[in-house]
Amino acid sequence: MLPPQSPIVFDAAVLFRETHLPTHFIWPEDETPGKEDFEELAVPVIDVQGFLSGDPAATLSTTRTVTEACLKHGFFHVVNHGVARELIEAIHKEAADFFAMPLVEKQRALRKPGESSGYASAFTGRFSSKLPWKETLTFPYSTAPGSPSNSVKDFFLNSLGHEFSRTGAVCQEYCDAMNGLSLRIMELLGMSLGVGRDYFRNFFEGNDSIMRLNYYPPCQKPELTLGTGPHCDPTSLTILHQELVGGLQVFVDGKWRSIRPQPDAFVINIGDTFSALSNGRFKSCLHRAVVNNQESRVSLAFFLSPEKNKVVRPPKELIDEENPRKYPDFTWSALLDFTQKHYRTDVNTLESFSNWLSLPPVAARISLAP
Ligand SMILES: C=C1C[C@]23C[C@H]1CC[C@H]2[C@]1(C)CCC[C@@](C)(C(=O)O)[C@H]1[C@@H]3C(=O)O
Ligand SMILES: O=C(O)CCC(=O)C(=O)O
Ligand SMILES: [Fe+2]
């Protein structure tokens, strides 16, 4: 009789001192980064200052460059975005302080099974292999009618207590800024797809978005593992900030390419839900995060998502004989549930979700039970 498997505890401070990686963190060879040097991808850098200030000529040229980027691989940098440097530094400091706490303290906000919010360390208990070398803190940001106006502050207060009121206030202010920038980018995407500046902005005016702080400790064998596995974001639009330590990679033309950190820029990418809203015109792009053996890395990811129960359906202008419906109607609530309870987000999430929706309920439960 084998002794019961002792539950894996990802305490990076402990694991980093060991010579070998626990097997659960070793990814299949064809998925690991190995010791390869990855060429950088020169993603388009889009200066949005003119557009944000309402300059008509700048709006036209910015819409054009966003269109080119979204048709190419769906990743671009935005600069002169109007988000205060002090705010970005403040949330990075709050993130660093949070993840520096002892594991038992962080686990006071432990993610509950099937839920997206909360603290997780390598998703031990959620996945049984290919564990990501990272800790995450994920919380909801909602502007849906009837939702509390300070959903982020409430999360920190309710899950971690009053001593985290400053962290909650900084994260609330940061998410408010991300929400504002997201809605302006939705204006660009509406013009880019020819459905008008307000179409997607109105669609996302009320939203049920997600904010995630990613913490990647240094790893003694970075070539054998991944910080975040290959995936397309199932959400609508991701605004990601990486300070000085890189790790984000995008799969373009059959190769993994690094995105050099640019602290004064946000990395923007289209997600699956927006790909469905665009009836497949814009693709959600495969990406991942690698780790290193020298220094820790934090990335801030704001995931814009529609109000949970709003039907995700492309505007009629994007459906015609040459472009029939690519995906069924769905709600973000159903897709989020799918990723949290039935399916590990990867490159095929949207297709797998569409197939799952078409299955009779019992078969769906059996076919994708975690
Ligand atoms: C809705 C989400 C699920 C994940 C967080 C957001 C958007 C990205 C998803 C994720 C990061 C894709 C890779 C796998 C995953 C499990 C992870 O490594 O964190 C995904 C997130 C999740 O399901 O918690
Ligand atoms: O940390 C990164 O650079 C990427 C993280 C990511 O892709 C995600 O959290 O969805
Ligand atoms: Fe992602």
Q: Is the pLDDT of residue 2 over 50?
A: no
Surrounding residues of ion ligand 3, Cβ less than 5 A: 233
Q: Is the pLDDT of residue 363 over 70?
A: no
| pLDDT at position 6 | 55
| pLDDT at position 365 | 60
Mean pLDDT score across all residues of the chain: 94
| pLDDT at position 368 | 59
Distance 121 CA to ligand 2 centre (A): 15
| pLDDT at position 125 | 87
What DSSP state is assigned to residue 339? Answer: I
| Ligand 2 atom closest to 216 (CA) | 1
The residue contributing the CA closest to ligand 1 atom 7 is 233
Structure tokens of 187? 């204006």
How far apart, in whole angstroms, are the C-alpha atoms of residue 19 and residue 32? 18
Question: Residues 14-64: pLDDT tens digits?
Answer: 777 788 899 999 999 999 999 989 999 999 999 999 999 999 999 999 999
| SS3 state at 228 | strand
- Mean pLDDT on 172-184: 98
Apex 330 CA angle, 329 and 335, nearest 5? 150
The C-alpha torsion from 348 through 353 and 356 to 361, rounded to 10°, is 150
| Ligand 2 atom closest to 301 (CA) | 9
Report which bound ligand comes closest to the CA of 288. 2
Phi, psi of 230 (to 5 degrees): -60, 130
The residue contributing the CA closest to ligand 1 atom 24 is 116
Q: With bands split at pLDDT 50, 70 and 90, how would you rate the model's confidence at 367?
A: low
Structure tokens of 36? 């390869």
| pLDDT at position 346 | 96
- Look up residue 178 and give its amino acid: M
Sheet holding 228-231, edge to edge: 228-231, 287-289, 248-252, 255-258
Task: Give the helix ranges, DSSP H, for the chain.
Answer: 12-15, 49-52, 56-72, 85-99, 103-106, 151-160, 165-192, 197-205, 272-277, 332-337, 349-358, 361-367
Label the pairing between strands 45-47 and 75-79.
parallel
How far apart, in whole angstroms, are the C-alpha atoms of residue 290 and residue 302? 19
How far apart, in whole angstroms, are the C-alpha atoms of residue 21 and residue 38? 23
- Mean pLDDT on 106-133: 95
Q: With bands split at pLDDT 50, 70 and 90, how would you rate the model's confidence at 306?
A: very high
| pLDDT at position 361 | 72
| pLDDT at position 84 | 98
Asked whether 187 lines ligand 2 (CB < 6 A), one says no
Q: With bands split at pLDDT 50, 70 and 90, how would you rate the model's confidence at 175?
A: very high
Report which bound ligand comes closest to the CA of 123. 1
- Mean pLDDT on 225-244: 98
Distance 233 CA to ligand 2 centre (A): 9
Structure tokens of 302? 């704001």
| pLDDT at position 262 | 96
Question: Residues 59-106: pLDDT tens digits?
Answer: 999 999 999 999 988 999 999 999 999 999 999 999 999 999 999 999
- Mean pLDDT on 274-301: 96
How far apart, in whole angstroms, are the C-alpha atoms of residue 223 and residue 217? 14
* CB burial readout 33-71, b (16+ within 10 A) else e: beeeebeebebbebbbebbbeeeeebbeebbebbbebbe
Distance 128 CA to ligand 2 centre (A): 20
User: 340: which residues sit within 8 A by CB, 6+ positions away?
Assistant: 114, 115, 116
Structure tokens of 195? 């459905």
Judge whether 130 and 21 are in contact, CB under 8 Å: no
Cut 0.90: pTM above it: yes
Q: Is the pLDDT of residue 336 over 90?
A: yes
Asked whether 350 lines ligand 2 (CB < 6 A), one says no
Phi, psi of 275 (to 5 degrees): -60, -40
Q: Is the pLDDT of residue 123 over 70?
A: yes
Report which bound ligand comes closest to the CA of 349. 1
Judge whether 195 and 317 are in contact, CB under 8 Å: yes
ipTM above threshold 0.95:
yes
